[in-house]
Amino acid sequence: MKKDMRQVNLRVEDMPARWYNIIPDLPEPLPPPEGDMTAMGKGMIKECLDQEFSPDNWIDIPEELQETYRQIGRPRPVFRATNLEKRLDTPAELYYKAEGLFSPTGSHKINTALAQAYYARKQGLERLVTETGAGQWGTALSCAARITGLAATVYWVRAVHRWKEARRLFMELYGAEVFASPSENTETGRGLLKKDPDHPGSLAIAISEGLEDALSDDKAAYVLGSVLNHVLLHQTIIGLECKKQMEAIDRYPDVVVSCLGGGSNFGGIALPFLGDALKKGTRTRFIAAQTQAAPNLQGEYRYDNADYSGITPRLKMYTLGHQKDMPPVYGDGLRYHGCSPILRLLRNKGYIDTVAYPTDEKYVFESAKVFLSEEGFLPAPESAYSIAAAIDQADECRKSGEKKVILFNVSGHGFMDMEGYRQVLQV
Amino acid sequence: MKKDMRQVNLRVEDMPARWYNIIPDLPEPLPPPEGDMTAMGKGMIKECLDQEFSPDNWIDIPEELQETYRQIGRPRPVFRATNLEKRLDTPAELYYKAEGLFSPTGSHKINTALAQAYYARKQGLERLVTETGAGQWGTALSCAARITGLAATVYWVRAVHRWKEARRLFMELYGAEVFASPSENTETGRGLLKKDPDHPGSLAIAISEGLEDALSDDKAAYVLGSVLNHVLLHQTIIGLECKKQMEAIDRYPDVVVSCLGGGSNFGGIALPFLGDALKKGTRTRFIAAQTQAAPNLQGEYRYDNADYSGITPRLKMYTLGHQKDMPPVYGDGLRYHGCSPILRLLRNKGYIDTVAYPTDEKYVFESAKVFLSEEGFLPAPESAYSIAAAIDQADECRKSGEKKVILFNVSGHGFMDMEGYRQVLQV
């Protein structure tokens, strides 16, 4: 036991060597995808497609990939937010995973980007194509491709591409080719631009464009940064590290909180603990922090497409509709119409709660500022939602007097997102 | 011994608990400061003034401050740059300290900022005043003051303040008051603005303004982020961690490299190893990477002021002259006319080598891009100099066939410095 628990980290050699696959532990099988799998299957990395439907509970992280994880700073610390606890005058213990704060590209996305790049190179592919919303995933993929020796092409939601110039330069420094989406590069893009030359784009549209591009090149694969089972699988390293870290200080979370767009960072931290809830009956509460611009866990529970033009197979999910227009928010990574099939099933079975914050984002950015003022670290806009929900939980404990252990994920840093702070907080 | 040495980190509880004070080990006493110490002495934090001339070899880091160090992510990892070694085809082993990459404010400066804030609060002070060049020190001080419960005022070299708006917002989010220097807030500033309303400013001018401000307020102290002995003392935690980390993998550096402006990050990583050179006769080579805009270790060895208007006492240093005009560079943290008295003495005795890179900065930014491409992390412009010098050393080993162990410091990240990359590399 440490003198204090301000920071808990693992030894480098204690980084988890396997990912946790929750699929075999789910209360019922995942409803199979509907529709034509050909395009999606053809565009995807084979090993990832296998992992997508794997019946195995544990999947080894290849030794070379483990080395790359160590290269980019894994394992990452869990911090106890002692100052924040004092400020909130709460009896709760607040712990946060510094997942994105120490990430080379600014978020947790690098975990799956490196895994997918590793498998793509092993398969003899030469280029990875993807979409990005907030820009975090596009940067992670650009970095992973470069480190692994592959080319990268990124379709970036135009509404965001427009004002995040520094992040675009960042991707290009890694050698990636970056298009504002809708772009003139694909049929989907050209069609939308004809109707509206200033079309703001969306994640779903960018996915359609990326898929179209990848399918036209034998040496390219289309890769996704969220939603799919194998992406969440790769991200479980976050929660697996957290479990070891909480064990080291003799704690177990009563509440696990994270922001949720497609579900990759939420799944990353929550799935290992959700596995305990399913198998051991632990009573942890799981809270997904969302934006009212895209409260996809509060949508309809039905089959829908992951992309705008319907190239992808249909997945059973809570959805707002795959052609839904959603107002822009700075936490753009949360602005997605659907959500991971694994998480929507667990939501449907009552394992996951959800809260959605107003689209003016004042409350979440104010929460981020409180966190910054007490703990020193600058969170990404998406992570601000996670922090807001953790603070809400701590406030409830203040009222009820409960000494809950609250674990939340800070999935990204905000060094490249100052514009959001400026606009929303009017500093 | 680890399976690989991609990353070496200490356990949280193994973070050094004392700073190393090299003063008693120097080959001759430091020449005393010349001139009027009253203003400087009056404006400074008492404990820091004591540390400035301490005869003790080791100074305990107060337990509360150790906790704050852990809160902001210490200890920080040392990485082996295996990919970079391959790219350079060098037999040398390259290790880098991720000092700034994981820092909440983007650089090593937080180490002394937190220490000075701690001692200031203990003394009953309420406000810290300082200058900043690149903006790294100003941000660190703003963060440290906020976490510690003090107010902060920052005078920021106008030439930099102008284009680093995100960093200004960052300081203001921490609650700091930020002025472009020269400012209308002081006599020094008003005098210079009268002559040139668009005066670009300099570190020396900003120091003069900050001192003037602090001396007019009983509850304020003036704090410096470099040059002075106590600042380098606080930064020795970098090198002390590195020593333990290199020991853990059974290595000792043949070469220690870092960029040098006033000397705080260079001193931070080098002093513990320089102590070995002085006491045990180890033959490590120490290389200070500088800009030709301010090659202060190649200047004249004489008494000079630390600030522009001569409020500070005169220190014996290599200097370019305290009113020297220096061309702007993106690595603005290196653009300073003088250098730490400790380091200049060791330079004079032949312990420190120096290299200065051209002011167009093409070579150093290209070096940073190579590092980014291989290791994934984005360095600050100042750290790009450190990387360039480390790469030069690795190249020499390629030619000579020597398997040297090279340790370098990446003292800052570049997430808020994309403008420099864009302008210099024309991406």
- Partner B contacted by A6 (CB < 8 A): yes
Partners of residue A406 on adjacent β-strands: A94, A255
Residue with tokens 């300073």: B336
Q: Which residues contact A216 (CB under 8 A, 6 or more apart)?
A: none
Chain A CB contacts of B8 below 8 Å: 12
Rounded (5°) CA angle A282-A285-A288: 140
Nearest to B11 among A11, A102, A173 (CB): A11
Determine the pLDDT at residue A4.
60
- Partner B contacted by A8 (CB < 8 A): yes
Compute the average pLDDT of residues A373-385.
97
Determine the pLDDT at residue A161.
85
Partners of residue B222 on adjacent β-strands: B129
**What token pair was written down for A164?**
């995040």
Q: If pLDDT is split at 50, 70 and 90, which confidence band does A51 have?
A: very high
Smallest CA–CA distance, residue B300 to chain A, in Å, is: 39
Chain B window 85-144: which residues touch A at a Cβ cutoff of 8 Å? 98, 101-102, 104-106, 110, 143
Partners of residue B212 on adjacent β-strands: none
Chain A window 10-39: which residues touch B at a Cβ cutoff of 8 Å? 11-13
**What token pair was written down for B52?**
């400035």
Its CATH architecture, for the domain A7-15+72-106+236-425, is: 3-Layer(aba) Sandwich (3.40)
Nearest to A147 among B9, B12, B376 (CB): B376
What letter would DSSP give residue A379? B
- Residue A352: left (phi > 0), alpha (psi -120 to 50), or beta? beta
Nearest CA in chain B to A366: B173
Determine the pLDDT at residue A332.
86
Smallest CA–CA distance, residue B151 to chain A, in Å, is: 12
Smallest CA–CA distance, residue B94 to chain A, in Å, is: 13
**DSSP string over A392-426:** HHHHHHHHH----EEEEE--BB-TT-HHHHHHHHT
Nearest in space to B346 (alpha carbons), one of B413, B400, B273, B416: B273
Residues of chain A with CATH 3.40.50.1100: 7-15+72-106+236-425, 18-62+109-222
Residue A245 to residue B121: CA distance in whole angstroms: 33
Q: How far is CA B196 from the centre of its chain?
A: 30
Determine the pLDDT at residue A9.
94
Nearest CA in chain B to A140: B376
Smallest CA–CA distance, residue A76 to chain B, in Å, is: 10
Nearest to B169 among A83, A174, A422 (CB): A422
Q: Which of A259-268, B39-48, B412-421 shows the lowest mean pLDDT across its residues?
A: B39-48
ipTM of this predicted complex? 0.95
**DSSP string over B195-244:** H-TT----HHHHHHHHHHHHHT-TTEEE--SSSSHHHHHHHHHHHHHHHH
Nearest CA in chain A to B141: A376
Q: If pLDDT is split at 50, 70 and 90, which confidence band does B315 have?
A: confident
Rounded (5°) CA angle A369-A111-A245: 70
Partners of residue A258 on adjacent β-strands: A288
Chain A CB contacts of B375 below 8 Å: 71, 147
pLDDT tens track for B139-196: 999 999 999 999 999 999 898 888 788 889 999 999 999 999 999 999 999 999 999 9
User: Cβ(B145)–Cβ(B170) under 8 Å?
Assistant: no
Round the CA-based radius of gyration of chain A to a whole number and report it.
Answer: 20
Determine the pLDDT at residue A337.
79
- Partner B contacted by A423 (CB < 8 A): no
* DSSP H helical ranges for B56-195: 63-71, 82-88, 110-122, 136-148, 158-161, 165-173, 187-195
User: Cβ(A133)–Cβ(A160) under 8 Å?
Assistant: yes
- Partner A contacted by B413 (CB < 8 A): yes
Nearest CA in chain A to B366: A173
Mean pLDDT estimate for chain A: 93
Q: Which of A212-221, B103-112, B200-209 shows the lowest mean pLDDT across its residues?
A: B200-209
Q: In Å, how far are A57, B97, B111 from B19, measured between CA atoms?
A: 48, 18, 11
Q: If pLDDT is split at 50, 70 and 90, which confidence band does B80 have?
A: very high
- Partner A contacted by B175 (CB < 8 A): yes
Residue A368 to residue B35: CA distance in whole angstroms: 47
Nearest to A376 among B72, B369, B421 (CB): B72
Chain B CB contacts of A79 below 8 Å: 71
pLDDT tens track for A100-158: 999 999 999 999 999 999 999 999 999 999 998 888 999 999 999 999 999 999 999 89
Smallest CA–CA distance, residue B4 to chain A, in Å, is: 8
pTM: 0.95
- Partner B contacted by A325 (CB < 8 A): no
Number of H helices, E strands in chain B: 16, 15
Report the percentage of chain A scoring pLDDT > 90: 79
Q: Which residues contact B197 (CB under 8 A, 6 or more apart)?
A: none
pLDDT at B385 over 60: yes
Compute the average pLDDT of residues B238-266.
97
Q: If pLDDT is split at 50, 70 and 90, which confidence band does B239 have?
A: very high
Chain B window 148-167: which residues touch A at a Cβ cutoff of 8 Å? 165-166
Q: If pLDDT is split at 50, 70 and 90, which confidence band does B395 have?
A: very high
**DSSP string over A287-350:** EEEEETT--GGGSEEEEEESSSSS-SPEEEEEES-TT------S-GGG--S---HHHHHHHHTT
Rounded (5°) CA angle B35-B113-B349: 50
- H or E stretch covering A255: strand A255-259
HSE, side-chain direction, 13 A CA sphere, residue B393? 31
Chain B window 284-323: which residues touch A at a Cβ cutoff of 8 Å? none
- Partner B contacted by A62 (CB < 8 A): no
Inter-chain CB proximity B378 and A173 less than 8 Å: yes
Nearest in space to B411 (alpha carbons), one of B270, B224, B317: B270
Report the percentage of chain A scoring pLDDT > 70: 99
Nearest to A7 among B12, B425, B427 (CB): B12
- Partner A contacted by B427 (CB < 8 A): yes
Chain A window 195-254: which residues touch B at a Cβ cutoff of 8 Å? none
Determine the pLDDT at residue A306.
74
pLDDT tens track for B12-37: 999 999 999 999 999 999 988 888 77
Smallest CA–CA distance, residue A105 to chain B, in Å, is: 7
Nearest to A3 among B4, B13, B172 (CB): B13
Chain B window 363-382: which residues touch A at a Cβ cutoff of 8 Å? 369, 372-378
Inter-chain CB proximity A415 and B416 less than 8 Å: yes
Q: If pLDDT is split at 50, 70 and 90, which confidence band does B1 have?
A: very low
Smallest CA–CA distance, residue A233 to chain B, in Å, is: 23
pLDDT at B4 over 70: no
- Is the domain covering B18-62+109-222 a CATH 3.40.190.290 domain? no
Chain B CB contacts of A172 below 8 Å: 427
Determine the pLDDT at residue A343.
95
- H or E stretch covering B341: helix B341-348
Residue A52 to residue A48: CA distance in whole angstroms: 6
**What token pair was written down for A364?**
């979440």
Residue A291 to residue A385: CA distance in whole angstroms: 8
Q: If pLDDT is split at 50, 70 and 90, which confidence band does B326 have?
A: confident
Smallest CA–CA distance, residue B47 to chain A, in Å, is: 24
User: Cβ(B142)–Cβ(B174) under 8 Å?
Assistant: yes
User: How many cross-chain Cβ pairs, A to B, lie less than 8 Å apart?
Assistant: 140
Residue A192 backbone phi and psi in degrees, to 5: -70, -35
Determine the pLDDT at residue A1.
42
- Partner B contacted by A177 (CB < 8 A): no
Chain A CB contacts of B425 below 8 Å: 173
Residue with tokens 């400012």: B183
Smallest CA–CA distance, residue B407 to chain A, in Å, is: 16
pLDDT at B373 over 50: yes
pLDDT tens track for A63-98: 999 999 999 999 999 999 999 999 999 999 999 999
Q: Which residues contact B102 (CB under 8 A, 6 or more apart)?
A: A73, A101, A102, B73, B76, B77
Mean pLDDT estimate for chain B: 93
Smallest CA–CA distance, residue B391 to chain A, in Å, is: 18
Nearest to B172 among A73, A166, A427 (CB): A427
Rounded (5°) CA angle A273-A116-A342: 35
Inter-chain CB proximity A105 and B376 less than 8 Å: yes
Nearest CA in chain A to B427: A169
Inter-chain CB proximity B7 and A12 less than 8 Å: yes
